[in-house]
Chain A
Amino acid sequence: MTTTRRDFLGTSGSLVVAFAMGRPRAAGAQELPRSLGREPSLDSWLRLDASGRITVFSGKCEIGQGIKTALVQIVADELDVGLASVDIVTADTARTPNEGYTAGSMSMQTSGAALRQAAAEVRQILLKEAAGRLGAATGALSVSEGRVRAPNGRGVTYSQLVEGADLRGEARGEAQPKLPGERRLAGTSVPRLDIPAKVFGQAAFVHDLRLDGMVHARVVRPPSYGARLARVRPVVNEVPGALRTHRDGSFLAVVNEREENAVAMAEDLAARAEWEGETELPPADDLDGWLRRQETADGEVSALGVDPASVPSSMRVKASYAKPYLAHGSVAPSCAVAVDRAGELTVWTHSQGVFPLRASLARVLGIAAEKIRCIHMDGAGCYGHNGADDAACDAALLARALPGRPVRVLWSRQDELRWAPFGSAMSIDLEAGLDDSGRVTSWRHDLWSHAHSTRPGRQPTFVAGWHLAEPVPLPSALNIPQPFGGADRNAVPLYDFGSQRIVEHFIRHMPVRVSALRSLGAFANVFAIESFMDVLAAKAGADPIDFRLRHLSDPRGRAVVEAVRESSGWVSPVKAGSGRGFAFTRYKNRGSYLAMVVEVSAAGGAISVDRATAVVDAGEIVNPDGVRNQIEGGIVQAASWALRESVSMDSSRVRSTDWRSYPILRFSEVPEVSVELIDHPELPPLGVGETAQGPTAAAIANAIAAATGERRSTIPLERAVV
């Protein structure tokens, strides 16, 4: 069977894969950034009011990565105003451009580039207007804090220029954004704008939204994915404040005036509900074998040179790697508020994509998308497709049942860990040939995986939809094609091997709910490739870093590798019982570069990750501390995934439902992390949110091998010890 990669084209499902329609440009004009090309009206992106305040509109949203701050920096820079003069509105179907999902570490490349160009164009229009009023050439004008000055000392403010300057035209690609040396704010560690509200306990999250007349809802889910509601035994104890017990097929929910009473109602209803049927889940003790036994759609991801099997070599080496299902485990359960006012539905959500969410809600509710407004509000840290969209659907269904009342749905911790999608389990075989000089001459990579995105958008994929009397079942799974890749993300090696075949065995069957988890398939692929490179280096008798450099020609890749060798003290001795491990990646083969060294100690069988040193080249860095924060957090989270995490299930139910049964890394266990940045202000930004995931796992496995002599190739790496 062959994969039909064309399936994916035309979907808006997973990534911002924007297809810019080339508009005719004036001579000398440059191609517009993709997002701006799709939505060229300047006032879709930027508005100035008569008081001189600037409002930025972005289709991207804050998911804990600091995007609002970085976008404000870019605009304030281009317009020569202070940060305090700029407000930002994000991801609102009624107010902002449609920029698809905030995913794939793409926001700086897409929204950042669009806003920088839009701001440059607005600045040019304002300067033209100022030149006329001040009687000076535009080139002679200077701007500071929103005030335009002519050489003769006369000046005019943006607020005075707004009347007269038409800022509602279309971007033309004729304005030149500032050159790196002219930037004042982009490239500096501006403190994040959203942090104070969160530190002072102000209402900062969708969880904190309180509307007049708002009521509280809880959903009662089945015990197993495929279970159906058979019957509900009658109420014995009435809970005060009950507004509604809602049943639509197997979708069960309660609504109460008070939150604690909604919880009590849900507990009572759960005890009275009888379910039948169940989904058979993969065997916990043979997940890897199960993956390989599934029917697959096989496709060649990459083929370079002759068939690896035909390349003569002095040594052939094979290894297998495995990764279990992993949970997002956002620290807040999913939440949404929805209200239906005269058939117009408004949904406040922490979804990563308000426009695709709206399209899917329209399908499930059977109403026009124009009747729905989805507004993003912050949720807890989002590492991909968690329960946010599902909670929005839950709230929308219940709001339709209670017109006029804002309905707030909050998932339980148990449901968040049981019902939110997981990152797919994966299994990988690697095989390489080495020649006498210790060079890799052939490379083969086979991977088995489910889909890595089942986000709503192309079609609805909400949990509630599966359970409705008229169900909206999950559509068939699609893989995200190269060059981004889904299951095969980062499966193509970054090294020069001459002969390579990368083959994907895509499993369409999804008994376990899976979707996008930070870095998608890259986590397992980089874990495997970079673990295997250490194995090969040992066979070749080479230092692991030297061995990589022997096969790495990309100068930016070499630069991060060489820099981390220096800053980590790679060649200095380690203390007894400790070991260092190295790993390298370029996320998505086209995003940011990262090389890292991890130091672990293995005392009495327990593994402790003590230190991690990373060097990153992310192209232009708009906010260095923001980038550091993302890389530090990515390393800590990936260390937790790699060492400890695995969704546990029995034959029909997910069993890891709280922080005891799904433990993650804690304060006393996290490594000291240092991050060094190689800045390239002259190059495009490359995105950093997901780069650290794969290399962290590999560097830890390599460090464990260095410390103990034992090579671990199955995540969670701790498990072999216990």
Chain B
Amino acid sequence: MARLRVNGRSHDVQTAADAPLLYALRNDLGLSGPKFGCGLGQCGACTVLVDGRATRSCIRRVGTVAEDAEIVTVEGLGAPASPHPLQSAFIAEQAVQCGYCTAGLVMAGAALLQETPDPGDDQIRAALDGHLCRCGAYGRVVRAVRRAAGEMRR
């Protein structure tokens, strides 16, 4: 049992303290944005924000997340009726092939743009370098993050 604050609301979850946060988000809270990709923190598909920091939820244990820490998943970032600029930009650039890595990339992009509102392409690549996209949509993803940065500075 643990208490987690996710997308602006507090929830009690059944997940044990030593279990990965990912399972609490997906199975107790029914969220689909964070994905299981490797369970090793190597691919980035499970990335969420914890107090604004991009965090690999497949290796972060539930018990290490404070009750009042703000966890944000891609569902909390924006919705079809009120999309986050990154979500709009991923659609505008069609920066997706299969889309399995997408939510993690959007979250890593969000963490980057909070710290660095006007990143250069090299900064974007460096920030996303720990994320794998096997379909090879990398170039489009960089363009999407750049586009979102421009939108957010307006």
Which among B33, B124, B142 is the interface contact of A201 at CB below 8 angstroms?
A: B33
- Distance, CA A314 to CA B119, complexed state (A): 58
Nearest chain A CB to B119 CB, angstrom units: 13
Query: Does any Cβ of B come within 8 Å of A667's Cβ?
Result: yes
Nearest chain B CB to A465 CB, angstrom units: 25
- Distance, CA A182 to CA B128, complexed state (A): 44
Binds A, one of B49-57, B63-71, B99-107: B99-107
Which positions 1-48 of chain B face chain A at CB distance < 8 Å? 14-16, 19-20, 23, 26-27, 30-40, 42-43, 45
Nearest chain A CB to B29 CB, angstrom units: 11
Who on chain A is nearest to B24 by CB? A260
- Specify which chain B residues have a CB less than 8 angstroms from the CB of A630 in the assembled complex: 97
- Distance, CA A128 to CA B33, complexed state (A): 48
- Specify which chain B residues have a CB less than 8 angstroms from the CB of A65 in the assembled complex: 97
Q: How many A-B residue pairs have CB under 8 A?
A: 176
Which among B79, B87, B99, B142 is the interface contact of A667 at CB below 8 angstroms?
A: B142
- Specify which chain B residues have a CB less than 8 angstroms from the CB of A201 in the assembled complex: 31-34, 73-75, 103
- Distance, CA A658 to CA B132, complexed state (A): 12
Nearest chain A CB to B12 CB, angstrom units: 15
Query: Does any Cβ of A come within 8 Å of B78's Cβ?
Result: yes
B42 and A629 form a contact (CB under 8 A): no
- Distance, CA A659 to CA B43, complexed state (A): 8
- Specify which chain A residues have a CB less than 8 angstroms from the CB of B59 in the assembled complex: none
Who on chain A is nearest to B87 by CB? A199
Indicate the size class of the contact surface on chain A. Answer: 35 or more
A192 and B37 form a contact (CB under 8 A): no
Nearest chain A CB to B38 CB, angstrom units: 4
Query: Does any Cβ of B come within 8 Å of A333's Cβ?
Result: yes
Q: List 18 A-B contacts (CB under 8 A).
A: A192-B96, A195-B94, A196-B91, A200-B74, A200-B78, A201-B74, A204-B99, A210-B30, A260-B15, A260-B16, A331-B37, A331-B132, A332-B35, A632-B136, A637-B135, A658-B42, A667-B129, A670-B138
Query: Does any Cβ of B come within 8 Å of A64's Cβ?
Result: yes
- Distance, CA A91 to CA B127, complexed state (A): 38
Query: Does any Cβ of B come within 8 Å of A276's Cβ?
Result: no
Given contacts A64-B97, A65-B97, A331-B37, 6 further A-B contacts (CB under 8 A): A201-B74, A331-B135, A658-B40, A659-B40, A659-B42, A667-B129
Query: Does any Cβ of B come within 8 Å of A280's Cβ?
Result: no
Query: Does any Cβ of A come within 8 Å of B131's Cβ?
Result: yes
Who on chain A is nearest to B16 by CB? A260
A64 and B98 form a contact (CB under 8 A): yes
A668 and B126 form a contact (CB under 8 A): yes
Give chain A's interface residues, CB within 8 Å of chain B: 63-66, 191-192, 194-196, 198-205, 207-208, 210, 258-260, 263, 329-333, 378-383, 410, 412-413, 625, 629-630, 632-637, 640, 658-660, 664-668, 670, 672-673
Nearest chain B CB to A179 CB, angstrom units: 28
4 closest residue pairs by CB, A with B: A201-B33, A636-B136, A64-B98, A198-B99
Who on chain A is nearest to B107 by CB? A201
- Specify which chain B residues have a CB less than 8 angstroms from the CB of A632 in the assembled complex: 136-137, 139-140
- Specify which chain A residues have a CB less than 8 angstroms from the CB of B83 in the assembled complex: 199-200
- Distance, CA A670 to CA B45, complexed state (A): 19
Which positions 106-142 of chain B face chain A at CB distance < 8 Å? 106, 124-126, 128-142
- Specify which chain A residues have a CB less than 8 angstroms from the CB of B124 in the assembled complex: 667
| Given known A259-B23, A668-B126, contact A331–B96 (CB-CB < 8 A) | no
| Given known A191-B94, A196-B80, A200-B79, contact A666–B129 (CB-CB < 8 A) | yes
Nearest chain A CB to B111 CB, angstrom units: 15
B94 and A331 form a contact (CB under 8 A): no
Who on chain B is nearest to A194 by CB? B99
Nearest chain B CB to A419 CB, angstrom units: 15
Which among B38, B39, B140 is the interface contact of A629 at CB below 8 angstroms?
A: B140
- Specify which chain B residues have a CB less than 8 angstroms from the CB of A196 in the assembled complex: 80, 91
A199 and B102 form a contact (CB under 8 A): yes
A332 and B36 form a contact (CB under 8 A): yes
- Specify which chain B residues have a CB less than 8 angstroms from the CB of A198 in the assembled complex: 96, 99-100, 102-103
Which among A205, A210, A330, A413 is the interface contact of B39 at CB below 8 angstroms?
A: A413
Nearest chain A CB to B26 CB, angstrom units: 8
Among A191, A201, A410, A635, the most chain B Cβ lie within 10 Å of the Cβ of A201
- Specify which chain A residues have a CB less than 8 angstroms from the CB of B40 in the assembled complex: 413, 658-659
Nearest chain B CB to A256 CB, angstrom units: 11
A332 and B30 form a contact (CB under 8 A): no
A199 and B106 form a contact (CB under 8 A): yes
Nearest chain B CB to A109 CB, angstrom units: 21
- Distance, CA A639 to CA B33, complexed state (A): 29
Nearest chain B CB to A102 CB, angstrom units: 13
- Specify which chain A residues have a CB less than 8 angstroms from the CB of B106 in the assembled complex: 199
Who on chain A is nearest to B102 by CB? A198
- Specify which chain B residues have a CB less than 8 angstroms from the CB of A666 in the assembled complex: 129-130, 132
- Distance, CA A30 to CA B26, complexed state (A): 52
B100 and A667 form a contact (CB under 8 A): no
- Specify which chain A residues have a CB less than 8 angstroms from the CB of B16 in the assembled complex: 260
Which among B78, B79, B80, B94 is the interface contact of A625 at CB below 8 angstroms?
A: B94
Which among A413, A625, A637, A659 is the interface contact of B136 at CB below 8 angstroms?
A: A637
- Distance, CA A640 to CA B97, complexed state (A): 17
B103 and A673 form a contact (CB under 8 A): no
Nearest chain A CB to B17 CB, angstrom units: 11
Who on chain B is nearest to A329 by CB? B134
- Specify which chain B residues have a CB less than 8 angstroms from the CB of A670 in the assembled complex: 136, 138-139
- Distance, CA A195 to CA B91, complexed state (A): 7
- Distance, CA A537 to CA B142, complexed state (A): 38
- Specify which chain A residues have a CB less than 8 angstroms from the CB of B19 in the assembled complex: 260
| Given known A200-B87, A260-B19, contact A658–B134 (CB-CB < 8 A) | no
Nearest chain B CB to A211 CB, angstrom units: 12
- Specify which chain B residues have a CB less than 8 angstroms from the CB of A629 in the assembled complex: 94, 97, 137, 140
Which among A63, A659, A667 is the interface contact of B125 at CB below 8 angstroms?
A: A667
Nearest chain A CB to B59 CB, angstrom units: 12
